[in-house]
């Protein structure tokens, strides 16, 4: 699909992340004003809350964009999603009849404050990238036992915390927790020493499922409203002590950062690709009727306080072993109901080379091979005041599909477990 041209000139630049082909959804505010729903187009944000209030945008028999979240639009279902995209396209395409009127609802993207684009109902994170699973398993169990026996058959996940999902730009404080060194006799309660990031994608569920009723992979695919970049902040030393026998808990509860713009399934449609060839056939309920991954280029940038940014990893979402649709189908297989606004984390996205590893745990091989930054500093894990930025984009014919940066800065731990 080639670039679709807009009357907003900045949207037609080959390096613009928000062309007419994209039209991602977010929540923004300007100069202390109230947060409202917006659509990114070029270097502008279209205020769709005001556009709906004016009568130019009707999706239901009541207002659905009058609150600072996109959940009400999601709840309307795929037909309304398509109608919204069609209306927006008609208003923003080159030669649009209502150009002069629509221009009154545009605001500069520069200087806008971005907010959470949706209210997160529940958060589930998966462990579904093979390269990551092999790397971590090799470090802790040896290459011959890297993958657990169930890994090639089932997308492994855990239930996370919706309450600590935050939007890009939110600072993240280093957590306290129980730590126990390999040669220690007893654990101690102290600040995390091995704080880490995980490069992931997040799938946002736009339609519910009924309790007791599993959904197929095809139906799960249709339930997904869109995608965001996701950083699953991880306290590795807390995790090492707590994870047996029930898996991660406090090590993953500190924060999960998402990018500010929801990129819709329709915008990603030209970039669909297949999951990797299976070593072992999946059970029928997990088999895909078609390609359900996406070719999304991803990178991680680390910037120390006062230092030079360094790109420490580059990989691609197509490296995943299980798609979001497969993860969602498996999630419902027990009869677990899904809700509008549920968030599904892909799991860490790592490629086959060191430069494509999606976490510091892998990049430094458990701290044994520190990463050298551009300024000469080294990192085994994240240090206080480090800023992590995740970026993602799809490359089309003369255009890009971007998500906006997913950024967070590590704040020092509290001076005491309950002190400031």
Look at residue 273 and tell me whether its pLDDT is greater than 70.
yes
* Cβ neighbour number for residue 142 with a 10 Å cutoff: 9
The rounded mean pLDDT for the chain is 96
SS3 state at 203: strand
Predicted local confidence at residue 1, as pLDDT: 85
* Options 107, 132, 197, 331, the catalytic residue: 132
The stretch 14-37 carries a mean pLDDT of 96
- Residues 6+ away with beta carbon under 8 Å from 199: 231, 298, 300, 313, 315, 348, 349, 350, 358, 359, 390
Look at residue 181 and tell me whether its pLDDT is greater than 90.
no
SS3 state at 286: helix
Look at residue 417 and tell me whether its pLDDT is greater than 90.
no
Domains belonging to the chain, first-starting first, are: 9-115 (2.30.30.230), 123-411 (3.90.850.10)
DSSP string, 76-136: H-HHHHHHHHHHHHHHHBTT-TTHHHHGGGEEESTTPEEE-SS----EEEE---HHHHHHH
Judge whether 197 counts as a catalytic residue.
no
Q: How far is the CA of 13 from the CAs of 8, 109, 123, 269, 404, in angstroms?
A: 10, 15, 36, 21, 16
Predicted local confidence at residue 243, as pLDDT: 83
Look at residue 419 and tell me whether its pLDDT is greater than 80.
no
Look at residue 248 and tell me whether its pLDDT is greater than 90.
no
Share above pLDDT 90 across residues of the chain, in percent, rounded to a whole number: 94
The stretch 180-196 carries a mean pLDDT of 92
Model confidence at 184, pLDDT cuts 50, 70, 90, reads confident
The closest alpha carbon to 25, from 98, 96, 88, 83, belongs to: 88
* Cβ neighbour number for residue 343 with a 10 Å cutoff: 22
For residue 303, list its beta bridge partners. 387
The closest alpha carbon to 364, from 319, 313, 408, belongs to: 313
| pLDDT tens for each residue of 27-72 | 999 988 999 999 999 999 999 999 999 999 999 999 999 999 999 9
The stretch 257-273 carries a mean pLDDT of 98
Predicted local confidence at residue 420, as pLDDT: 65
Q: What are phi and psi of 136, to 5 degrees?
A: -65, -45
| pLDDT tens for each residue of 288-343 | 999 999 999 999 999 999 999 999 999 999 999 999 999 999 999 999 999 999 99
Decide if 256 contacts 232 (C-beta within 8 A).
yes
């Amino acid at each position: 699909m080639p670039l679709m041209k807009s009357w907003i000139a900045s949207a037609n630049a080959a390096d613009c992340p928000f062309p007419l082909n994209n039209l991602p959804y977010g929540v923004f505010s300007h100069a202390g004003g109230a947060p409202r729903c917006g659509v990114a187009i070029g270097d502008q944000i279209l205020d769709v809350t005001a556009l709906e209030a004016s009568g130019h945008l009707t999706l239901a028999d009541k207002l659905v964009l009058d609150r600072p979240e996109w959940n009400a639009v999601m709840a309307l279902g795929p037909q309304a999603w398509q109608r919204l995209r069609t209306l927006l396209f008609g208003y923003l395409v080159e030669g649009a009849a209502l150009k002069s009127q629509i221009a009154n609802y545009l605001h500069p993207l520069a200087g806008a404050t971005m907010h959470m684009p949706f209210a997160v109902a529940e958060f589930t994170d998966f462990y579904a990238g093979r390269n990551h699973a092999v790397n971590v398993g090799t470090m802790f169990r040896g290459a011959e036992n890297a993958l657990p026996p169930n890994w090639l058959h089932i997308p492994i996940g855990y239930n996370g915390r919706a309450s600590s999902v935050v939007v890009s730009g939110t600072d993240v404080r280093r957590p306290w927790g129980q730590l126990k060194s390999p040669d220690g006799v007893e654990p101690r309660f102290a600040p995390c020493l091995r704080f880490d990031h995980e490069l992931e994608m997040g799938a946002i569920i736009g339609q519910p499922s009924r309790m007791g009723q599993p959904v197929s992979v095809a139906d799960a695919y249709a339930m997904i409203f869109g995608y965001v970049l996701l950083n699953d902040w991880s306290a590795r030393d807390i995790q090492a002590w707590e994870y047996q026998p029930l898996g991660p808990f406090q090590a993953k509860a500190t924060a999960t950062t998402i990018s500010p713009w929801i990129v819709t399934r329709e915008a990603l449609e030209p970039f669909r690709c297949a999951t990797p060839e299976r070593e072992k056939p999946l059970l029928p309920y997990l088999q895909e009727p078609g390609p359900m991954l996406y070719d999304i280029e991803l990178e991680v940038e680390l910037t120390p306080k006062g230092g030079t940014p360094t790109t420490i990893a580059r990989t691609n979402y197509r490296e995943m072993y299980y798609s979001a649709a497969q993860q969602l189908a498996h999630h419902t297989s027990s009869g677990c109901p899904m809700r509008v606004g549920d968030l599904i984390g892909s799991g860490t996205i790592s490629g086959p080379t060191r430069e494509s590893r999606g976490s510091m745990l892998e990049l430094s091989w458990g701290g044994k091979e520190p990463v050298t930054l551009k300024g000469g500093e080294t990192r085994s894990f994240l240090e206080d005041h480090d800023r992590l930025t995740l970026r993602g984009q799809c490359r089309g014919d003369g255009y890009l599909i971007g998500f906006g940066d997913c950024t967070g800065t590590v704040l020092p731990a509290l001076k005491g477990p309950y002190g400031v």
